[in-house]
């Protein structure tokens, strides 16, 4: 919802030329371009493009222009779309600085811009000069050989020829002129052929580019036309424009309150002076500074051009029966000759006796306007991250901040109108205090999804809702989709609601919450677990084997751990939370990814009694070693002894046919890390080779998406070849952030996982986390797949505890976990290790026979000699049923009694003789 946009009132004819679009940037200096009719399509509002001094070129004298100076906001403006014949687009540019890498700064697009960029114009440095370049649709431009001057103004013209025959045959050219040129030159830059055509052209766009490649430059005088002459003409035709807010209003009621609006007056008439006044001075006043108010304003001009901000003020309206009224603006010249008389409708908004405005009327206000509202709190900052919802009998509104409110409080709040992600919000006015009265229960309105838009900001209840994805658990700060009667609605699970971690309801349920809005779409915001009917429990592990008998390994991506400016904002809080999570999981070895700051890592290890930590020397490319991402290992000194830690694949020769430059191999240097260790658990010793990996991350950019997929696939194939060749007899565990799922890839346009070389070799490898994917679980918060995995080699197949590989849920005990800890969930997997036997031991144990099998409980053990045995009996879930120690006869009696009491099923028996072990599957009839 927009509450302040400019509209233009033209009092003279349009341009006499047949220009489709013209933009001269005649707006007040330092005003943002997005407040002047342009729309942002990238950048999130950072480094907004501002109006600055324009450019002079030929007969044109400088007025307004815009400066682009590095990464940040990108904007566009629409014109009447064209899809045939030829289109010319001209603009002035003056480059202050450029880079050798080059970057595009101007482009065209269809009427719905999206990411279909066409006619991209580039600039790069060439010594102390510059070159201009052009591409039709790609990031690979054609540069001409001519060099141009810095700090000099040129007129550039894009020529786009629609041929509309093959989908790739449209022609795009670029002309560069240093003086006014009436006829089309013969020399131009031609874009590469074969790239995709535009469906139509209906937008011009300005791009600030990436910080390491972008140029610093000024743009002015954009013209779009169907002929060369019309496009390059810089003649300014007479005009008068009055820029006013979209919605104007005055207040009525016993509380006296004026309303002040910013406005802009722009004109090019040749007149030395223009005047603005109103025949209704009792209603309307004018001001140049917002302090001194007069009945009329004078705008002098020495050049015939006017571009001046001012203010208008509506006084209190007397007639309380009207909902809207009319006011006139009159524009005349120095001789009082009337040029234009404009009638404007404005709304009449009633104030209550307590001077509050009904919530439903807030949408009639503009940004920054101060308002008072009274109502009852339907959701507070106890449930949502630093915002509340308040509703009265007319509607509801979001209020930013934490004021100690709880659900049901009756409050009075004075704040200013603002917008957050296209939702109207109120922000605190620190001069005025909030008031709190009584507290009462607030009842939800029973609504249908199809009517949800009528209840924005209010507490509602939706009966008979169902989840689009009922699998796994609710995760924090994510969206679920609920359905009712064929209609769908996003349901946002905020972290502080204590809903996260609960299993989702499988069937129909009652959904209660406040109706919020995000970028033009309504969403349901449940406030607590009881707002979701039939909600499940928080899952608990059903594996009850004590950890003193098992080897436990966890892998966790700690999201830019300790990196300033990346990941969670509060690094100290991330450290404290990470320590809590590791203590709760209590694994023997942790494989951690995205460790950046070694000081924070050392503090993390120090917080864990009895643990040591070491990191791989291989780090991701493009960063300082102290700030780049690396794989690290944290291990329990009581159970694990390090043998070595080193990167793998560091000496891999360049691979012929690698999808991109081989310098990008394994994330440009973030190689797999091999941690060799000796593990001693419950009297059993094993040497393990743990490979920690953080595979190349995916990209959203269509130009990089497919390339990254191919690179990661090749990286993984090389890793597997190396492990097969050099570690074929080792007990291997490959754990980390795979950045891909294993049943299928997460990359759109492909099906096969980039780890298919491992999943296809089921004889030698098993992905323990594949079952999590099959169950519809998610390890990367906000996305629909498991991308954090653990794979083992066949040497460990018999040591895995079934059903003991699971995602951990620290979100349950850490509020706002995705914001302050990590965007990944840890994965834990558990093993009951057995000793690796020698050939002689295998021969001795092979003579041990357990019979009858199947059995009803009359178990016998046939073995040579009279030695002490240890016997472990498990069910197929991995639960320990019996742990016995004694002679053969003692073990036989105890196991027989235990089996006789248990139900028919398949059981696992492990017999230990000294350091040797043999495993049997026992069928209880």
pLDDT tens column, 854-873: 888 888 888 876 677 888 88
Residue range 814-829: average pLDDT? 96
Q: Is the dihedral of CA 182, 188, 193, 198 positive or negative?
A: negative
Residue 15 has pLDDT above 70, yes or no: no
- pLDDT band, residue 87 (cuts 50/70/90): very high
131 Cβ contact partners less than 8 Å away, ≥ 6 residues apart: 123, 124, 143, 144, 145, 146, 147, 148
Of the listed ranges 62-66, 163-167, 514-518, 536-540, the least confidently predicted one is 163-167
**Averaged pLDDT score across all residues of the chain:** 90
Instruction: Specify burial of residue 378 (Cβ count, 10 A radius: 0-12, 13-18, 19+).
Output: buried
Which residue has tokens 């879930």?
A: 877
The conformation of residue 698, written as its DSSP 8-state character, comes to P
Residue range 488-494: average pLDDT? 98
385 Cβ contact partners less than 8 Å away, ≥ 6 residues apart: 494, 495, 496, 816, 819
Residue range 892-901: average pLDDT? 89
* Cβ proximity of 472 and 811 under 8 Å: no
- pLDDT band, residue 689 (cuts 50/70/90): very high
The enclosing H or E element of 232 equals: helix 228-232
pLDDT value at position 783?
Answer: 93
Residue 624 has pLDDT above 70, yes or no: no
pLDDT value at position 108?
Answer: 95
How far apart are the C-alpha atoms of 374 and 435, rounded to whole Å?
9
SS3 673: strand
pLDDT tens track for 138-153: 888 999 889 999 999 9
SS3 434: coil
Q: Report the 3 state secondary structure along 547-602.
A: HHHCEEEEEEEEEEECCCCCCCCCHHHHHHHHHHHHHHHCCCEEEEEEECCHHHHH
* Cβ proximity of 735 and 693 under 8 Å: yes
- pLDDT band, residue 10 (cuts 50/70/90): very low
Residue 1 has pLDDT above 80, yes or no: no
Q: What is the CA radius of gyration of the chain?
A: 35
How far apart are the C-alpha atoms of 836 and 713, rounded to whole Å?
33
Q: Other C-beta atoms within 10 Å of 292: how many?
A: 9
Instruction: Calculate what percentage of the chain has a pLDDT beyond 90.
Output: 65
Q: Other C-beta atoms within 10 Å of 115: how many?
A: 11
b or e along 602-624 (b: 16 or more beta carbons within 10 Å of the residue's beta carbon)?
ebbbeebeebebebbebbbeeee
SS3 529: helix
pLDDT tens track for 801-811: 989 999 999 99
Q: Give the residue from 42, 96, 43, 92 showing the smallest Cα distance to 64.
A: 92
How far apart are the C-alpha atoms of 476 and 500, rounded to whole Å?
5
Torsion angle, alpha carbons of 656, 660, 663, 668, to 10: -130
Residue range 86-107: average pLDDT? 94
Highest-confidence segment of 46-60, 226-240, 772-786: 772-786
Residue range 443-461: average pLDDT? 97
Residue 284 has pLDDT above 90, yes or no: yes
pLDDT value at position 836?
Answer: 62
pLDDT value at position 889?
Answer: 86
Question: What is the β-pairing status of strands 249-252 and 142-143?
Answer: unpaired
Residue range 419-438: average pLDDT? 88
pLDDT value at position 474?
Answer: 98
Residue 9 has pLDDT above 60, yes or no: no
Residue 666 has pLDDT above 80, yes or no: yes
Instruction: Specify burial of residue 778 (Cβ count, 10 A radius: 0-12, 13-18, 19+).
Output: buried
Six token digits for residue 558: 């700690």
- pLDDT band, residue 294 (cuts 50/70/90): very high
Residue 89 has pLDDT above 90, yes or no: yes
Of the listed ranges 346-360, 380-394, 490-504, 825-839, the least confidently predicted one is 825-839
pTM of the model: 0.71
Residue range 184-188: average pLDDT? 86
pLDDT value at position 180?
Answer: 86
């Amino acid at each position: 919802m927009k509450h302040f946009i400019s509209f233009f009132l033209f009092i003279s004819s349009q341009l006499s030329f047949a220009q489709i679009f013209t933009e001269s940037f005649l707006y007040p200096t330092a005003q943002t371009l997005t407040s002047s009719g342009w729309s942002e399509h990238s950048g999130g509002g950072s480094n907004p493009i501002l109006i600055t001094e324009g450019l002079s070129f030929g007969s044109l004298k400088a007025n307004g222009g815009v400066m682009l100076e590095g990464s940040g906001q990108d904007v566009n403006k629409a014109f009447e779309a064209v899809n045939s014949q030829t289109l010319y687009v001209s603009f002035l540019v003056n480059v202050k600085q450029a880079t050798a890498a080059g970057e595009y700064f101007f482009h065209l697009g269809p009427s719905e811009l999206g990411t279909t960029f066409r006619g991209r114009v580039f600039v790069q440095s060439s010594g102390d000069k510059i070159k201009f370049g052009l591409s039709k649709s790609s990031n690979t431009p054609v540069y001409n050989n001519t060099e141009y001057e810095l700090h000099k103004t040129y007129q550039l013209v894009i020529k786009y020829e629609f041929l509309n025959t093959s989908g790739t045959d449209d022609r795009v050219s670029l002309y560069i002129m240093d003086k006014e040129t009436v006829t089309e030159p013969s020399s131009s830059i031609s874009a590469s052929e074969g790239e995709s055509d535009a469906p139509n052209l209906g937008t011009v766009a300005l791009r600030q580019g990436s910080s390491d490649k972008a140029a610093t430059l000024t743009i002015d005088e954009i013209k779009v036309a169907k002929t060369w002459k019309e496009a390059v003409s810089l003649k300014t035709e007479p005009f008068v424009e009055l820029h006013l807010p979209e919605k104007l209003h005055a207040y009525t009621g016993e509380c006296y309150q004026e309303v002040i609006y910013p406005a802009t007056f722009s004109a090019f008439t040749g007149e030395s002076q223009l005047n603005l006044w109103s025949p209704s001075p009792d209603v309307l006043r004018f001001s140049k500074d917002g302090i001194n108010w007069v009945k009329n304003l004078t705008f002098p001009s020495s050049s015939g051009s006017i571009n001046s901000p001012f203010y208008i003020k509506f006084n209190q309206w007397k007639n309380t029966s009207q909902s809207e009224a009319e006011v006139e603006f009159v524009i005349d010249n120095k001789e009082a000759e009337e040029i234009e008389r404009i009638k404007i409708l404005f709304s009449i908004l009633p104030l209550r006796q307590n001077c509050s405005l009904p919530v439903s009327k807030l949408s009639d206000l503009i940004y920054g306007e101060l308002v008072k509202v009274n109502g009852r709190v339907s959701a507070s900052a106890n449930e949502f991250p630093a915002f509340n919802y308040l509703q009265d009998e007319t509607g509801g509104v979001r209020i930013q901040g934490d004021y100690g409110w709880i659900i049901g409080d009756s409050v009075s709040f004075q704040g200013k109108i603002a917008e957050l992600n296209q939702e109207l919000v109120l922000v605190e006015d620190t001069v005025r205090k909030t008031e709190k009265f009584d507290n009462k229960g607030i009842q939800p309105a029973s609504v249908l999804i199809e009517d949800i838009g009528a209840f924005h900001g209010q507490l509602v209840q939706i009966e008979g809702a169902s989840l689009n994805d009922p699998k796994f658990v609710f995760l924090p700060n994510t969206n679920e989709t609920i359905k009712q009667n064929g209609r769908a609605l996003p349901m946002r699970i905020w972290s502080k609601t204590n809903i996260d971690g609960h299993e989702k309801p499988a069937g129909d349920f009652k959904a209660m919450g406040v109706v919020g809005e995000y970028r033009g779409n309504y969403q349901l915001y449940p406030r607590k677990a009881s707002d979701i009917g039939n909600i499940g429990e928080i899952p608990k592990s059903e594996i009850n084997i004590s950890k003193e008998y098992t080897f436990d390994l966890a892998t966790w991506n700690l999201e830019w751990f300790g990196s300033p400016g990346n990941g969670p904002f509060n690094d100290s809080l991330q450290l404290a939370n990470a320590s809590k999570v590791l203590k709760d999981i209590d694994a023997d070895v942790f494989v951690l990814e995205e460790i950046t700051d070694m000081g924070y890592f050392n503090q993390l290890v120090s917080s864990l009694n009895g643990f040591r930590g070491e990191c791989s020397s291989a780090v991701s490319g493009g960063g300082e070693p102290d700030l780049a991402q690396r794989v690290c290992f944290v291990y329990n000194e009581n159970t694990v002894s390090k043998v070595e830690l080193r990167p793998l694949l560091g000496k891999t020769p360049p691979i012929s046919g690698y999808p991109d430059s081989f310098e990008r191999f394994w994330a440009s240097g973030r190689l797999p890390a091999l941690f060799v260790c000796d593990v001693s658990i419950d009297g059993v010793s094993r040497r393990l080779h743990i490979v920690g990996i953080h595979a190349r991350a995916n990209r959203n950019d269509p130009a990089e998406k497919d390339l990254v997929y191919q690179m990661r696939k090749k990286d993984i194939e090389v890793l597997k070849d190396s492990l097969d060749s050099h570690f074929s007899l080792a007990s291997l565990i490959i754990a980390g952030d795979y950045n891909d799922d294993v049943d299928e890839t997460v990359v759109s346009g492909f099906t096969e996982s980039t780890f298919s070389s491992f999943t296809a070799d089921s004889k030698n490898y098993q992905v323990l986390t594949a079952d999590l994917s099959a169950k519809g679980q998610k390890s990367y918060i906000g996305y629909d797949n498991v991308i954090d995995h653990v794979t083992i080699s066949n040497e460990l197949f018999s040591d895995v505890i079934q059903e003991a590989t699971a995602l951990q849920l620290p979100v349950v005990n850490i509020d706002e976990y995705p914001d302050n800890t990590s965007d990944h969930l840890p994965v834990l997997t558990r093993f009951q290790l057995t000793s690796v036997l020698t050939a002689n031991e295998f021969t001795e144990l092979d003579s041990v026979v357990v019979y009858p099998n199947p059995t009803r409980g009359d178990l016998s053990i046939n073995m040579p000699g009279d030695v002490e045995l240890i016997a472990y009996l498990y069910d197929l879930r991995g639960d320990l049923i019996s742990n016995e120690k004694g002679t053969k006869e003692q073990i036989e009696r105890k196991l027989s009694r235990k089996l006789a009491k248990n139900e028919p099923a398949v059981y696992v028996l492990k017999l230990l003789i000294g350091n040797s072990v043999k495993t049997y599957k026992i069928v209880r009839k």
